[in-house]
């Protein structure tokens, strides 16, 4: 059966905040966008959810397509739903976060021009609302690490 609705609906995207420890610093993985909007600017890896995949499948696919990273334990962080977060139209993004536990190398692919690690204290300007997303992810990371330290 074909369902059509007269009411507009938002698009659904996923984004990944992937961290790693490098010496005494914590870094986050960003991609340089290769397409509009925000072409040439840094952002979190991510993209639109396909009709035939779960959120978890979508974030794993997008992360691997844009950075070549796979097998990272990703947890849902938060849904970001500001009305004007994407100039293409109404978009809600479910953000996942995780920590790289091995020596996989990030390599740009698909619609990412570049993939690079940035110290969380030295971030570039970010596309969309990704500054707010990264700040939320850093708080969650710090809280998780503090709780782990208390348990040991």
Superfamily, domain 11-151: Nucleoside Triphosphate Pyrophosphohydrolase (3.90.79.10)
Question: Once rounded to an integer, what is the mean pLDDT over residues 83-110?
Answer: 96
Mean pLDDT, rounded, of the chain? 95
b (16+ CB within 10 A) / e for 30-46: bbbbeeeebeebbbbbb
Q: Hunting for tokens 């993004």 — which residue is that?
A: 93
**pLDDT over 90 (residue 87):** yes
Using CB atoms within 10 Å of the CB of residue 65, give its burial: 0 to 12 exposed, 13 to 18 middle, 19+ buried.
middle
146: confidence class by pLDDT, cuts 50, 70, 90: confident
pLDDT of residue 148: 77
Question: Once rounded to an integer, what is the mean pLDDT over residues 24-46?
Answer: 97
Residue 149 vs residue 66, higher pLDDT: 66
pLDDT of residue 152: 66
56: confidence class by pLDDT, cuts 50, 70, 90: very high
Question: Once rounded to an integer, what is the mean pLDDT over residues 114-124?
Answer: 97
**pLDDT over 90 (residue 149):** no
The residue ranges of every structural domain in the chain are 11-151
**pLDDT over 80 (residue 78):** yes
pLDDT of residue 13: 98
pLDDT of residue 2: 75
pLDDT of residue 113: 97
**pLDDT over 80 (residue 1):** no
Question: Once rounded to an integer, what is the mean pLDDT over residues 43-66?
Answer: 98
Those residues with Cβ within 8 angstroms of residue 70's Cβ, 6 or more apart along the chain or in another chain: 60, 63, 64, 104
**pLDDT over 70 (residue 94):** yes
* Alpha-carbon distances, residue 34 vs 40, 81, 95, 131, 147 (angstroms): 6, 24, 21, 19, 38
């Amino acid at each position: 059966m074909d369902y059509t609705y007269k009411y507009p609906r938002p698009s659904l995207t996923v984004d990944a905040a992937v961290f790693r420890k490098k010496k005494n610093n914590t870094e986050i993985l960003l991609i340089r966008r290769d397409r509009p909007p925000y072409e040439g600017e840094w952002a979190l890896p991510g993209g639109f959810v396909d009709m035939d995949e779960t959120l978890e499948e979508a974030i794993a696919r997008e992360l691997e397509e844009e950075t070549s990273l796979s097998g990272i334990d990703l947890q849902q962080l938060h849904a970001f739903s500001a009305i004007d977060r994407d100039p293409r139209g109404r978009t809600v993004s479910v953000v996942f976060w995780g920590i790289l536990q091995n020596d996989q190398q990030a390599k740009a692919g698909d619609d990412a021009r570049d993939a690079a690690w940035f110290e969380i204290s030295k971030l570039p300007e970010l596309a969309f609302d990704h500054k707010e997303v990264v700040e939320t992810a850093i708080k969650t990371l710090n809280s998780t690490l503090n709780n782990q330290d208390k348990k040991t």
